[in-house]
Amino acid sequence: MHPHQPYQPHQSYRPPLVPVGVTASDGIKVKARRARMIAQFTPELVVELRPGFNEFQLPPGYYRVQLWSQYVWKAGKATLDIDATRGPVHFHYAAPYTLYSAGSAGFTPLERPGLVVKMGIFAVAFAVPLLIALAALVTR
């Protein structure tokens, strides 16, 4: 050590962080608002996603990402294994249209699941009162 240099304690090597991008769909609509979308990489590393492109950095490694929309329970769950050991990672999360469908995650753009369930709910909600009204007219 040179006599004019201040002493610096040894610092352990930390590999550079890896850029991660997540493209998220719109969240599940619950009443007048959208449910929060969450990505959990480790129990300690949890990120809230916004609709559109989300960018952040992770320590290099392999992750099993748990994704969901937060309501009273975890809705729209999806899981994806990612390799963030060598370079940028980009993946997609598609929240479902309803609280009763699973979400989907992958490395290519995805359609939001649950459209048929949503249409079925609306059809039943429309048909039941209509059938009751028709039954009332017929029984008069």
User: What CATH number did the domain enclosing 94 receive?
Assistant: 2.60.40
The predicted pLDDT at position 10 comes to 65
* Domain membership of residue 23 as a residue range: 18-113
Count CB neighbours of 113 within 10 A.
20
The mean pLDDT of the chain is: 83
The pLDDT, as a whole number, for residue 97 is 83
Looking at residue 66, its pLDDT comes to 97
In this structure, how many other beta carbons lie within 10 angstroms of the beta carbon of residue 31? 6
CA dist., res. 98 & res. 116, Å (int): 10
pTM of the model: 0.72
pLDDT at 38 (0 to 100): 96
- pLDDT 10s digits, 77-135: 999 999 999 889 999 999 988 888 889 999 999 888 655 555 555 555 555 666 666 66
The closest alpha carbon to 25, from 66, 65, 70, 69, belongs to 69
pLDDT at 136 over 80: no
Does residue 107 lie in a domain region? yes
Q: Is the pLDDT of residue 2 over 70?
A: no
Q: What is residue 60's predicted lDDT score, i.e. its pLDDT?
A: 94
Cβ atoms of 65 and 38 closer than 8 Å: no
> Does residue 66 lie within any of the structural domains?
yes
58 vs 20: CA distance, rounded Å: 7
Asked if residue 118 belongs to a domain, the reply is no
Q: Can you tell me the distance from the alpha carbon of 89 to that of 60, in angstroms, rounded to the nearest whole number?
A: 11
Q: Is residue 42 part of a domain?
A: yes
pLDDT band for position 28 (50/70/90)? confident
Domain tally, the chain: 1
Q: Which residue has the tokens 């129990």?
A: 43
pLDDT of residue 86: 86
Angstrom CA distances, 64 to 6, 17, 104, 109, stand at 43, 17, 14, 19
Please check whether residue 69 lies inside any domain of the structure: yes
